[in-house]
Structure 1
Amino acid sequence: MQAEHLLSVGAELGEGPVWIDGALWFVDIKRNTVFRFDPAARALSSWPAPEHVGWVLPSAQGGLIAGLRSGPHRFLPETGAFERIADIQADLPDNRLNDAAIDAQGRIWFGTMDNLEESETGKVFVLDNGAVHEAGLAAVTITNGPAISPCGSHVYHVDTLGRKVIRHAVSAAGTVDAGSLFLDFNREDRADWGYPDGAICDAEGGVWLGFYAGSAARRFAPDGTLTDEVRFPVSNVTKIALGGEDGRTAFATSARQGLSEEQLASQPLAGDLFTFRTAVPAAPPRKANT
């Protein structure tokens, strides 16, 4: 399958797509910008963020929760205001928040990473009713996801530079087990697949991954079997979201970051938004309890 070009954005690091109430929200992390795209009206709106912003997610208490560099904030689109909820890893000024997901209890699982992409200082945290605690997953350099299964029984933790995905069982209280290897992209037959990036789960528990430096998005069944591969005309595919009227329209963000002048010349659509259709719809929408 081939992805179709949907919208010119030219993002340095497009990320965090999420379908909320008939529109696609996403960010450009490195340009400190939050976007809202209304496909029906073909309208794109944007808001400046005070720091690098990794994601926005809907809140049951109104507005959105935004993952800024220093920690989660409440974001009010009607005023453009960002209100700090918590500081994360204040002792590590080179770290920032990167990716996130909401579980069935409304908890936000989010990861941090070394913005220099050198040190294993990236950890996963949980935001639950305004309080933050560590999730208990292994530290890595770049965290992605975690993706959460529809029933909430498993969390998929992406170690991007390690090129693997670890699956952890989750208890009702939100504690995790030691985990087991779910996907390994260091295998010889996957050497040219690039780096696993943003992750989501669909309604059947399938795991969709964008592949940075891999020109593709791929879906894996809960047993790890590859079921779908979608090719892109750009190298850096960062993450997909499922939405639209039937939940079967995929939206994918991409990035210009790290591409040479020659690569950018051959990839004029790098950093733009793409779309394709899927057989399995999105998991039921969730809102944060914070």
Structure 2
Amino acid sequence: MKEHQSTVLANGFVFLEGPRWRDGALWVSDMWGHAVLRVTEDGARTTLCTVPQRPSGLGFLPDGTPLVVSMADRRVMRVVDDALVLHADLSALVGGDCNDMLVDETGRAYVGNFGFDVHGGAAPADADLIAIEPNGAARIVTSGLSFPNGMALIDGGRTLVVAESWARRLAAFDRDQDGNLSGHRIFADLDGRSPDGICADAEGGLWVACYDTDEFVRVRAGGVVTDRVAVPGRRAVACALGGADGRTLFCCTFAGDYRDMGGDLRHGAIETVRVDIAAA
């Protein structure tokens, strides 16, 4: 296993989620800072919009319009002229706050959720995964997931992989041309690691942010770990491959306690690592 060392690109955020590389910069949600930001490779940041109900997953429609998950009101919003416009209301389809999102090249989005009211103290429950068509029509495409979190496409988009955070594994599905999912199976058992955000490289490997063990690992199908970035004392939240050659791994980390997330403390950072295999 190859060990890597990260360096801090930018810090002073509250809690970062949903990183996506797009048009020469990293787009990222500051969930508890209630903002979507754009961060360039020199660390300069620009606030693109505010999301009062907490932003999380990010993606883009084919025309470049950004999409952002609005967690607490369980909606996906389009960002139009720095303002939020409703894309899809998922409140009738999900059992808990929405979280991460994957948007494919056609503009079809997949959105996960907690499955139950975590903050309200409800009993744990499995969650559904929601697909949203480019016109905003939404439907359930699979059920029975243990907190579906980060997602990635591999095999030319024919396979969708989703992190099941509370089951400590990555699940895989076959995906047809209409976006339907089938063939639910385990892609990798993570041996006690709790996966959060994930991203895919050009060889079908997945970089996984392992929240509970303060590390980012690259995993192959079957669970073999080939690379590791340890970030001791900092939670590994999410990651994205990008940069000019696609070989910079952007790592979102959090050096605080869970109870700090909703306050004014700024323990979030973006760290970077140069890796061997470029983005898918």
Shorter-chain TM-score range: 0.7 to 0.9
User: In the alignment, which of 133, 142, 149 is matched to residue 136 of structure 1?
Assistant: 142
Aligned-partner SS, 1:165: strand
What's the counterpart of residue 50 of structure 2?
48
Instruction: Specify the alignment match of 2:77 in structure 1.
Output: 73
Matched residues in 2 for 1:81 and 1:127: separation? 20
Q: CA deviation at 1:230?
A: 0.9
Distance in 1 (alpha carbons) for counterparts of 2:140 and 2:256: 29
Distance in 2, matches of 1:224 and 1:171, equals 25
Partner of 2:240: 241
Corresponding position: 1:21 with 2:23: yes
Give the conservation status (yes or no) of the 8 Å contact 2:207–2:218. yes
Structure 2 match to 1:126: 131
Q: Partners in 1 of 2:40 and 2:234 — Cα distance?
A: 25
1:105 to 1:224, Cα distance in 2 relative to 1, 3 A: farther
Is the Cα contact below 8 Å between 1:52 and 1:96 reproduced in 2?
Answer: no
Number of equivalences: 265
Q: 4+ residue runs of structure 1 moved beyond 3 angstroms?
A: 256-261
- Separation in 2, partners of 1:19, 1:75: 17
Distance of 1:25 and 1:115 partners within structure 2: 28
Shift of 1:85: 1.4
Structure 2 residue aligned with 1:34 = 36
Work out whether residues 189 and 222 of structure 2, in 8 Å CA contact, stay in contact via their aligned partners in 1. no
Mapped partners of 2:130, 2:183: distance in 1 = 16
Once the two structures are superposed, residues 215-263 of structure 1 have per-residue CA deviations (whole angstroms, 9 ceiling, x without a partner) of 11011123432111111143311111111110001111123563578xx
3-state secondary structure, aligned to 1:204: coil
TM-score using structure 2 length: 0.86
Instruction: State the Cα distance separating 1:160 from its structure 2 match.
Output: 0.4
Larger RCO (CA under 8 A, 6+ residues apart): 1
Shift of 1:214: 1.2
C-alpha RMSD of matched pairs (Å): 2.3
Q: Kindly indicate whether the alpha-carbon contact (under 8 Å) linking 2:127 and 2:143 is maintained by their aligned counterparts in 1.
A: no
Deviations 1:42-88 (A, max 9, x none): 32112321211112212223420111122111013xx3200011211
Structure 2: any 5+ residue segments left out of the alignment? Answer: none
Amino acid at match of 1:132: A
Deviation at 1:182, TM superposition (A): 1.9
Q: 1:170 to 1:260 in 2, by over 3 A?
A: closer
Change (3 A) 1:159 1:205: same
One-letter code of the match for 2:13?
G
Deviation sequence 1:3-39 (CA, Å, 0-9, x none): 111111232x311010010010111223322111012
Change (3 A) 1:64 1:91: closer
Query: What pairs up with 1:56-95 in 2 under 5 angstroms?
Result: 56-69=58-71, 70-76=74-80, 79-90=81-92, 95=96
Contact 2:60 2:103 in 1 (8 A): no
Structure 1 counterpart of 2:279, one-letter code: A
**1:89-133 CA-partner distances (Å, limit 9, x unpaired):** 2486x7222111123443211111145175325321111122211
1:210 is matched with which residue?
209
Q: Is the 8 A contact 1:112 1:122 kept in 2?
A: yes
Give SS of 1:85's match. Answer: strand
Q: Does structure 1 residue 10 correspond to structure 2 residue 10?
A: no
What's the % identity of the aligned pairs? 25
TM-score, normalised by the number of residues in structure 1? 0.83
* DSSP-derived class of the 1:34 partner: strand
Question: Which one has the bigger strand percentage?
Answer: 2
Do the aligned residues in 1 keep the contact of 2:154 with 2:204 (CA within 8 Å)? yes
Give, as a single letter, the amino acid of the residue that structure 2 aligns with 1:204: E
Tell me if 1:281 matches 2:262.
Answer: no
Please list every run of 5 or more consecutive structure 1 residues that lacks an aligned counterpart in the other structure. Answer: 262-267, 284-290
